[in-house]
A and B are shown apart, each in its own frame.
Chain A
Amino acid sequence: MVFSSLPFLFFFLPATLILYFAVPDKAKNAVLLVMSLLFYGYGEPIYILLMLASILLNYAAGRLLGVFDAHEKRRRAVLALCVAANLLLLGFFKYAGLFVSTVKLLPAFSFLPDPQIALPIGISFYTFQSMSYVIDTYRRNCAPQKNLITFGTYVALFPQLIAGPIVRYVDVEKQLQRRTHSWEKTTNGVRLFLFGLCKKVLLANALGAVWEQCKAAPGENTTLAAWVGIFAFTFQIFFDFSGYSDMAVGLGKIFGFEFVRNFNYPYTADSITDFWRRWHISLGTWFREYVYIPLGGNRKGRARQCLNIFIVWALTGIWHGASWNFLLWGLYFGVLLTVEKFGLLARLKKAPRALAHLYTLFFVVLGWVIFDFTSVGDMGAYFVSLFTAGNGLVSGDALALLMTHLPLLAVSALFSVPTARAAFGRLHGRRGWRFLEPVLGVAAFVLCVASLVSSTYNPFLYFRF
């Protein structure tokens, strides 16, 4: 189930809210756990079992780490086994298909059957969350969780289950035991949820339709159409992902949680290094805490640091999806970040701000081409149409595409920088805003619902009676 859907908004959400606030504090986690499992099972009922297995595995590992408190060797073995098991689950369910289809390229292995494994939704997110728990328990950053329901709630918690943020156990350890609920939190939560819903439904979905048109025939776009398309995708992926994160954080607030912020206006970054401090922050944090620093980070000399950067970025890339273009995308940023680390960053600091922003945006936008084409041939064709005029510079169709989506792109740009949000912030203290805000909120919600309903409106024009 996704948040931006009618079943979630009008059935799952009200049912969960009513149950959650009807039961006493003691039972609230249990309600969240059960509802989260239902939420997860809505799309793939069978994979509830996988989720339960993952919960049990990591719970047991945590308990064992507690039991073997005085035995360092045993603790290390438990950690190694548990991390290996988590990676194996992730590897099997997410990457088996990619692995087999790649091995099959060798003639000797071409007989292998394609594994038909549907990707369990959110597995990349909850596996990483569980691992953060086990690793931090091993490091004694947190105590083993003895209550299975509490732990299950942490892993399965539906707000961040499908698309993050990746909440580290240490960040919510206390909140899982005890959290407060207030109208103020709820108001902030609803506000953030609505904001995220609008980003996803009103902006990202519409931008996606523009990108689809340009992506369909990557070798046939005029230069203008290619740039309109990739900018549409640039905005789409930001509003889609950050919209989802906003909804997750908003829902979390309603249920008393405080999750970390996942996006901080990434397109306002003035270097690639800065961009990755602002984009999908929880993933970057995870890789820094559990891969980069354990590998030695920047403490073991330049050569080793380089290697560490490339390991982290290869993994970051492939984490985004089981396809080699994601690896390429990760390495692309690995190269850019290394170049920045060894000199460019210092120069960027002295360069005019506009130039630094332009440089960053240019490489980020081009990165999205690599990100969204799984076929290298299509990717290449799209790059060619971006930088040459082989199909012409402009066509009537390309101009129509641009002009009919210019307001959409303009609003997208406005909400990619802090200006719009700051303007809302200034209104908060004003008289009249307390009447205006609920009105605007409801209007925005109605527009989102209209768009969701409209997407299911499907005239069948040659129907026979």
Chain B
Amino acid sequence: MQKKKRARALPLCFFLMIAALTAAFFLLPKQSFAENEKRVLAEPPQWSWRALLDGSLTEQAQTYIADHFPLREAFVGLDSYAQQLFGRNGDSGVYRGKNGFLFAAQGEVSTRKTAENVRKIRDFAARNGLAATWMLVPCSGYTLGDCLPRFHKTYRDGEILDAAKDAAEGDTFLDVRDAFAVPDQTQLYYKTDHHLTSKGSLALYEAYCAAEGLQTQTFTLTQTSDGFYGTAYSKSGLWLTKPDTVELYTEDGGDYTVTITEGAQETTFSSLYFPEHLKDKDQYPVFLDGNHSVVKIVNNRCKNGKKLLILKDSFAHCFTTFLAANYETILMVDLRYCRTPLTATIAEEGIRDLLVLYGAENLATSTDIAWLALL
């Protein structure tokens, strides 16, 4: 009797585990949106004979099961920590660094593609009579090498910046490496996100003002928000990582009109900040409401006639909340989304200056910049 029981323990535990998880799958309420993944989760499979025969039904079922598996994020976290325990730091696409930093690993980048993208933007600038200034932000892994784990893939932002600098010869190229070289205690990047902190953006703003001969304005820290979990956090699955703090620096008496254009729809706001996002895990959209195709910022107190076009990715969002103080009008365009012609708008507004502000890796890999030829 004793022996028989002994023999059963392993299969019974195994079958019970399966039964429990299967039951949980059917009984637990389903979520429709995954905040960490920022995507809508799969709908239940739609039955049809056709879907059955072409195999798409089982594919749908598979995705549905995966998306709604019980304790999904807990399992993801367990796997991530198991990988860390096994020394596989970086296999998930994120390195766990020192001092609570998470660093996104770098994908394939090529200097050839970088130079090509720079040329495309220069063609566009020349066509529209714009004087271009360049700022490419190296990634946190490149800048904060001291905080990286000992063994990691080389970050190639230096090569990208050099290639872009060469290709942009004749334009003002503001080497962000110099701006960030100051050895102090400033935290330039978020620990759980790839973006620059407000202090990092402020350093960038000061460097830009110095290069362009602008008067830096004064900003006061008016609000801080804890509990910001950024993209590197979401990707890492290392759920026990401490969150970041978002700081809002505002200009005293700032008065702005922000017009966000998405396709044919225009919406107007009276602030550069969108504090409703401070309730989310990802709080970075607090600056200018995150990714949009075209954003126009009018500084109602500024009548200096200075107008600027910014071709950018999200690294510009926080930065522009500072820069807006110095320009009457800023037109911010995101080529990942913008497919509407720009030439007419540039002429209408009388814009003569262009700032290109990208994360270095994004510029080096972007395929959307090719659209400029048509805009």
Considering the chains assembled together, what is the distance between the CA atoms of A239 and B335 in angstroms? 45
Q: Contact at A7–B17, with CB atoms within 8 Å?
A: no
Considering the chains assembled together, what is the distance between the CA atoms of A209 and B92 in angstroms? 10
Is B192 positioned at the interface, with any CB of A under 8 Å from its CB? no
Interface residues of A in 181-217 (CB under 8 A from B): 183-184, 186-187, 189-191, 194, 206, 209
Interface residues of A in 116-163 (CB under 8 A from B): none
Q: Contacts A183-B11, A438-B13, A459-B231 hold; do A397 and B154 have CB atoms under 8 A apart?
A: yes
Is B171 positioned at the interface, with any CB of A under 8 Å from its CB? no
Interface residues of A in 73-130 (CB under 8 A from B): none
Q: Contact at A461–B58, with CB atoms within 8 Å?
A: no
1/0 contact string of B285-325 vs chain A (CB within 8 Å): 00000110000000000000000000000000000000000
Interface residues of A in 378-400 (CB under 8 A from B): 395-397, 399-400
Is B22 positioned at the interface, with any CB of A under 8 Å from its CB? yes
Q: Which residues of B contact A454 (CB under 8 A)?
A: 75-76, 79-80, 237
Neighbour of A187 across the interface among B11, B17, B87, B91, CB < 8 A = B11
Is A42 positioned at the interface, with any CB of B under 8 Å from its CB? yes
Neighbour of B65 across the interface among A10, A406, A438, A447, CB < 8 A = A10
Looking at the assembled complex, report how far the CB atom of B57 sits from the nearest CB atom of chain A, in whole angstroms.
8
| Interface-central residue, A45, A450, A451, by most chain B CB under 10 Å | A450
Q: Which residues of A contact B75 (CB under 8 A)?
A: 449-450, 453-454
Q: Contact at B18–A14, with CB atoms within 8 Å?
A: yes
Considering the chains assembled together, what is the distance between the CA atoms of A442 and B14 in angstroms? 6
Considering the chains assembled together, what is the distance between the CA atoms of A435 and B5 in angstroms? 11
Neighbour of B55 across the interface among A43, A187, A405, A437, CB < 8 A = A43
Q: Contact at A459–B37, with CB atoms within 8 Å?
A: yes
Q: Contact at A186–B11, with CB atoms within 8 Å?
A: yes
Q: Which residues of B contact A44 (CB under 8 A)?
A: 55
Is B7 positioned at the interface, with any CB of A under 8 Å from its CB? yes
Question: Interface stretch among B66-74, B132-140, B211-219?
Answer: B66-74
Q: Contacts A10-B65, A442-B14 hold; do A463 and B55 have CB atoms under 8 A apart?
A: no
Q: Contact at B67–A456, with CB atoms within 8 Å?
A: yes
Looking at the assembled complex, report how far the CB atom of B40 sits from the nearest CB atom of chain A, in whole angstroms.
9
Q: Which residues of A contact B36 (CB under 8 A)?
A: 459
Interface residues of B in 14-72 (CB under 8 A from A): 14-15, 17-19, 21-22, 25, 36-39, 52-55, 58, 61-63, 65-67, 69, 72
Q: Contact at B9–A434, with CB atoms within 8 Å?
A: yes
Considering the chains assembled together, what is the distance between the CA atoms of A13 and B21 in angstroms? 13
Q: Contact at A453–B69, with CB atoms within 8 Å?
A: yes
Neighbour of A404 across the interface among B4, B6, B55, B90, CB < 8 A = B90
Is B177 positioned at the interface, with any CB of A under 8 Å from its CB? no
Q: Which residues of B contact A342 (CB under 8 A)?
A: none
Q: Contact at A447–B82, with CB atoms within 8 Å?
A: yes
Q: Which residues of B contact A186 (CB under 8 A)?
A: 8, 11
Q: Contact at A396–B154, with CB atoms within 8 Å?
A: yes
Is A11 positioned at the interface, with any CB of B under 8 Å from its CB? yes
Q: Which residues of A contact B11 (CB under 8 A)?
A: 183, 186-187, 189-190, 254
Is A362 positioned at the interface, with any CB of B under 8 Å from its CB? no
Q: Contact at B291–A450, with CB atoms within 8 Å?
A: no
Considering the chains assembled together, what is the distance between the CA atoms of A406 and B150 in angstroms? 14
Q: Which residues of B contact A464 (CB under 8 A)?
A: 291, 337
| Interface-central residue, B80, B153, B231, B235, by most chain A CB under 10 Å | B153
Considering the chains assembled together, what is the distance between the CA atoms of A436 and B260 in angstroms? 61
The SS class assigned to the B binding surface is: helix
Q: Contact at A400–B39, with CB atoms within 8 Å?
A: no
Considering the chains assembled together, what is the distance between the CA atoms of A399 and B9 in angstroms? 44
**Nearest CB in chain B to that of A433: its residue:** B6
Interface residues of B in 187-217 (CB under 8 A from A): none
Q: Contacts A190-B11, A397-B154, A407-B87 hold; do A453 and B79 have CB atoms under 8 A apart?
A: yes
Looking at the assembled complex, report how far the CB atom of B146 sits from the nearest CB atom of chain A, in whole angstroms.
16
Q: Contact at A457–B37, with CB atoms within 8 Å?
A: yes
Considering the chains assembled together, what is the distance between the CA atoms of A453 and B25 in angstroms? 13
Looking at the assembled complex, report how far the CB atom of B61 sits from the nearest CB atom of chain A, in whole angstroms.
7
Considering the chains assembled together, what is the distance between the CA atoms of A63 and B234 in angstroms? 61
Q: Contacts A45-B55, A441-B10 hold; do A456 and B66 have CB atoms under 8 A apart?
A: yes
Is A339 positioned at the interface, with any CB of B under 8 Å from its CB? no
Neighbour of B89 across the interface among A43, A404, A435, CB < 8 A = A404
Is B152 positioned at the interface, with any CB of A under 8 Å from its CB? yes
Q: Which residues of B contact A13 (CB under 8 A)?
A: 18
**Nearest CB in chain B to that of A13: its residue:** B18
Q: Contact at B91–A45, with CB atoms within 8 Å?
A: no
Neighbour of B88 across the interface among A405, A437, A441, CB < 8 A = A405
Q: Contacts A459-B36, A461-B235, A462-B336 hold; do A445 and B153 have CB atoms under 8 A apart?
A: no
Q: Which residues of B contact A457 (CB under 8 A)?
A: 37, 72-73, 76, 237
Is A9 positioned at the interface, with any CB of B under 8 Å from its CB? yes
Looking at the assembled complex, report how far the CB atom of B282 sits from the nearest CB atom of chain A, in whole angstroms.
9
Considering the chains assembled together, what is the distance between the CA atoms of A88 and B38 in angstroms? 50
Q: Contact at B154–A451, with CB atoms within 8 Å?
A: no
Q: Contact at A45–B52, with CB atoms within 8 Å?
A: yes
Q: Contact at A459–B21, with CB atoms within 8 Å?
A: no
Considering the chains assembled together, what is the distance between the CA atoms of A444 and B325 in angstroms? 58
Q: Contact at A451–B79, with CB atoms within 8 Å?
A: yes
Considering the chains assembled together, what is the distance between the CA atoms of A397 and B155 in angstroms? 10
Q: Contact at B87–A10, with CB atoms within 8 Å?
A: no
Considering the chains assembled together, what is the distance between the CA atoms of A371 and B137 in angstroms? 43
Considering the chains assembled together, what is the distance between the CA atoms of A442 and B36 in angstroms? 28
Q: Contact at B8–A442, with CB atoms within 8 Å?
A: no
Considering the chains assembled together, what is the distance between the CA atoms of A435 and B12 in angstroms? 13
Q: Contact at B237–A14, with CB atoms within 8 Å?
A: no
Looking at the assembled complex, report how far the CB atom of B286 sits from the nearest CB atom of chain A, in whole angstroms.
14
Q: Can you list 21 A-B pairs with a CB-CB distance of less than 8 A?
A: A6-B66, A11-B22, A17-B15, A45-B58, A186-B11, A187-B7, A209-B91, A395-B154, A400-B153, A403-B151, A404-B89, A438-B13, A446-B78, A451-B82, A453-B75, A454-B80, A458-B39, A459-B37, A459-B38, A460-B39, A465-B290
Q: Which residues of A contact B (CB under 8 A)?
A: 5-7, 9-11, 13-14, 17, 42-46, 183-184, 186-187, 189-191, 194, 206, 209, 254, 395-397, 399-400, 403-408, 434-435, 437-439, 441-442, 445-447, 449-451, 453-454, 456-465
The 5 closest A-B pairs by CB, nearest first: A454-B79, A456-B66, A453-B75, A450-B79, A463-B38
Q: Which residues of B contact A (CB under 8 A)?
A: 4, 6-15, 17-19, 21-22, 25, 36-39, 52-55, 58, 61-63, 65-67, 69, 72-73, 75-76, 78-80, 82, 86-91, 150-154, 231, 234-235, 237, 290-291, 336-337
Contacts beyond the supplied A17-B15, A42-B58: 16 A-B pairs with Cβ under 8 Å: A7-B62, A45-B53, A186-B8, A187-B11, A190-B10, A190-B14, A209-B91, A435-B9, A449-B75, A450-B82, A453-B79, A454-B76, A454-B80, A459-B36, A459-B39, A460-B39
